[in-house]
Amino acid sequence: MSNPTAAREARALSVLMCRPTYFTVSYSINPWMHPENPTDTSRAIAQWDALVATYRELGFEVDFIDPLPGLPDMVFAANGGLVVDGLAYTANFRYDQRRPEAGAYAEWFAGAGLTVADAQFINEGEGDLLVVGDAILAGTGFRSTTESHAELAGLVRHQVIPLTLVRDDFYHLDTALAVLDARPGHEQIAYLPSAFDAASLEVLRSRYPDAIEASEDDAAVFGLNAVSDGLHVVTAAAATHFQAQLAERGFEPIGVDMSELRLSGGGAKCCTLEIRRHPSTSQMDPFAE
Ligand code: ARG
């Protein structure tokens, strides 16, 4: 039997983040959001600052996009697009309240020297598009459409694998599934089985037979909304059983408190967009001469 803890390897990530200067819950586009309840913007900022400090301690390169007034969800940088192999596939938001964020992120991508591909179809970036090995796991059901998955497949060398979400409290793929090891040949994920339809579950079980199945309790505190460098896994502090499962597999869990951001339906991963400037796939370049 293979040793599930073998060869964990940290790879410092490059990430983009957006300070929650204008964070609040003023509309409701997911079941976590209750505009009638108060939010504490300074508390959100303090939690976000602690997340930035955690990433810096891990040696991550952290870049920032300027927050814009009137866009309270812009803090959720994961939704700003998908950056893979130096290509930035832009977000195209489902709900009007967030649509203006897409242009701001696209501008940042262009300014960072990335090739920008404008999405024609509804998708919410890394919220629903998770790179693992040579594949991109692509969520649909609530936000991103299967048309966007097909569009993305035409732009990248990764295989795009659609997965259907069925629970509105886990409306983005990154709330129900965490990529723990993205290296081709070492793929490891964790997910909440009840968040997926039967066909998607079958795909997950056959591709990732060693995956961690997370508990309802850990998923409910957004434990799966996690960021992994291959060794360290930044996850919700309250996801205690998930942290034990990670440790059993040789990962080093780091708990962070994102409870204020959770009032908008987000956690650590939602606040974090990975910037992959260089090719990561193990595949031969099919376009090479
Ligand atoms: N309030 C935001 C929304 O509903 C939260 C986004 C969370 N982001 C994420 N990547 N899951 O759109």
Give the tens place of pLDDT for each residue, 86-109: 899 999 999 999 999 999 999 999
- Does the pLDDT of residue 85 top 70, yes or no? yes
**Which fold does the domain 14-280 belong to in CATH?**
L-arginine/glycine Amidinotransferase; Chain A (3.75.10)
- pLDDT number for residue 7: 85
Reported as a pLDDT band with limits 50, 70 and 90, residue 258 is very high
Mean pLDDT of 148-158: 97
Is the beta carbon of 73 within 6 A of some atom in ligand 1? yes
- Ligand 1 nearest atom to the CA of residue 264, by list position: 1
pLDDT tier, 169 (very low <50, low <70, confident <90, very high otherwise): very high
Residues β-bridged to residue 191: 177, 213
Which residue has the least CA distance to atom 7 on ligand 1? Answer: 266
Region 227-243: what's the mean pLDDT? Answer: 98
Residue type, 260: E
- Ligand 1 centroid to residue 30 C-alpha, Å: 8
| Whether residue 266 has its Cβ less than 6 Å from ligand 1 | yes
Residue 288, pLDDT score: 41
Identify the residue whose C-alpha is closest to ligand 1 atom 8: 270
* Residue 6's pLDDT band (cuts 50, 70, 90): low
Residue to probe by mutation, ligand 1, list 32, 34, 73, 99, most atoms within 8 Å of CB:
73
Please provide the average confidence, as pLDDT, over all residues in the chain. 95
* 175 C-beta closer than 6 A to ligand 1: yes
Q: Does the structure show a pLDDT above 90 at 35? A: yes
Domain boundary assignment for the chain: 14-280
Q: Is 174 in the pocket of ligand 1 (CB under 6 A)?
A: yes
Contact yes or no for 49/23 (Cβ under 8 A): no
Determine the pLDDT at residue 284: 44
Provide the pLDDT confidence category of residue 279 given band limits of 50, 70 and 90: confident
Give residue 262 CA to ligand 1 midpoint distance, Å: 9
**pLDDT(18) > 70:** yes
Residue 285 has pLDDT above 70, yes or no: no
The pLDDT of residue 286 is 45
> Residue range 129-153: average pLDDT?
98
pLDDT of residue 278: 83
Q: Tell me how far the alpha carbon of residue 287 lies from the centroid of ligand 1, in angstroms.
A: 35
Q: Does 76 sit in the ligand 1 pocket, CB within 6 Å?
A: yes
To the nearest whole percent, how much of the chain has pLDDT over 70? Answer: 94
State which ligand 1 atom lies nearest to the alpha carbon of 25. 1
Of all atoms in ligand 1, which is nearest to the CA of residue 174?
A: 11
For residue 211, pLDDT over 70 is answered with yes
Ligand 1 closest atom vs CA 269 = 10
Rounded average pLDDT over 228-256: 98
Average of per-residue pLDDT across 147-151? 98
CB 270 less than 6 A from any atom of ligand 1: yes
What was the pLDDT predicted at 3?
Answer: 54
Confidence of residue 287 (pLDDT cuts 50, 70, 90): very low
Q: Is the pLDDT of residue 282 over 80?
A: no
Residues annotated as catalytic (active site), given as ranges: 172, 270
